[in-house]
Structure 1
């Protein structure tokens, strides 16, 4: 029977952990529970101690992703459960997510509905992220940024070096799993209102999420980014040539520059595609040796 490790990254979430930890202990008495304290200044460590739960403490805040990586390295279970320590996720949902792994899946993500989004702005942003990720991966991504997921430990650790130390480890891990042809599925969940204040800054972290999507896209399928950009430059060059030829009867440097940029961007995309293939082939060889 697979052993379960439940990992909760937490930064000043003592108020929520007081309720969450006893429910986890009662619902999953055989599971290993690890709270990764990301430099908290509240009573997080004391709450873990009173609940008899393992607590990995950082001397300063390293970021949500860093806490997830520390927890994944320390966990001894075959199946890892990641959930936020802010009270949004219902421990009762863990059983449903874990149960779906028996269908031959490697990761099951808790997908929030619209009513579970923290405001209209966050809901619209997450919808945009899901659409972009679906386009890049060619798979339906129902909740790219959900921090509630269960994964097979050996598969997840393959990508620890890709995960950012800040927010959005869910984005990176989801797209990496798709790229490696590991089975990913979504299970509907109802997220509750978090206890305390959110650590996410909508504008700053929203831009970071978009940047991470594009960075992972270059690892996943670079041509899906570079080819449209190349086509755009080529089209602009043709449009500029048509305009100048009609009005001035000549070819301008701007059209030539646009066409050159189209060729350069396309060739960079081809090289990136080859590098991506070599990178994942090397990872596969290393896994075979293990």
Structure 2
């Protein structure tokens, strides 16, 4: 197996980070292990360093995505593996991900199986995201939001400017790889329940995750998202016009509003499609 870099974004993971790093080093002694300490207020940095990792510390918390970007810029290997520092991901699964990269894939994602989701609600949301992404890309997407993945470093670094600083970097990077025509594969894994307290706030981050729906569309093919919405407005416009013409024999302002809204949505999708194409012109 060729050399690879493992990047673990960590914020206040003193309870688990040492054990995770030691397990990685024990199984893959030649791997480069980088822990990005995202402004932790506990001993995360000290424990990770003592366990054998190279530690890069942010002076304050910048977010999970920002940590991923910091780690990717510091990585020296051709293959990068991203995983959580909270004990959810099994380091033994890294071998399978890296093996698929060596077989020719550009991105390999660890797809969480039934029973691996943090909660029932999270599982439903992820299921919806997967179906939406499958529709947008035309390829089966088994786990859009999984943070356990292996990538070719040079291809991943092409999209660093697209990645948000928050928790939706897996969605953004996956859709970017599909849009650029790179090879993506999903490998079944089992993720354990995280140890310690989650940093995801259901209300605040729930709103952010809803934005994933729109990000999926705008990162891949905006027309696939805007066209059905435009068609719906046109359909309602025709139905309302038929009703008012039959009952009042006239064309109403509501019909005009619905037709205009449909036209505007379609044009927004068309313009967004052109902008999206420019984003990937070098890929």
TM-score bracket for the superposition, by shorter chain length = over 0.9
Shift of 1:177: 0.4
CA distance in 2, matches of 1:134, 1:58: 36
Gaps of 5+ in 1: 285-290
1:129-144 alignment, distance < 5 Å:
129-144=129-144
CA distance in 1, matches of 2:271, 2:17: 48
CA distance in 2, matches of 1:155, 1:268: 29
CA distance in 1, matches of 2:62, 2:196: 20
Q: Secondary structure at the match of 2:33?
A: strand
TM-score under structure 2 normalisation?
0.97
- Maintained 8 Å contact 1:125/1:206: no
- Say what the alpha-carbon RMSD is for the aligned residues: 1.2
Aligned twin of 1:191: 191
1:2-151 alignment, distance < 5 Å:
2-151=2-151
Deviations 1:125-160 (A, max 9, x none): 111111111111111111111110000000000000
Shift of 1:238: 0.8
Q: Secondary structure at the match of 2:15?
A: helix
CA distance in 2, matches of 1:52, 1:20: 11
Q: Secondary structure at the match of 2:16?
A: helix
CA distance in 2, matches of 1:80, 1:249: 66
Aligned length: 283
Deviations 1:155-179 (A, max 9, x none): 0000000100010110000010000
Q: Cα distance 1:215–1:170, how it changes in 2: closer, same or farther (>3 A)?
A: same
CA distance in 2, matches of 1:17, 1:218: 35
Aligned twin of 2:271: 271
Runs of 4+ in 1 over 4 A off after TM superposition: none
Deviations 1:63-121 (A, max 9, x none): 00000000000110100000000000000000011111133200100000120111111
Q: Secondary structure at the match of 1:62?
A: coil
Gaps of 5+ in 2: none
Aligned twin of 2:163: 163
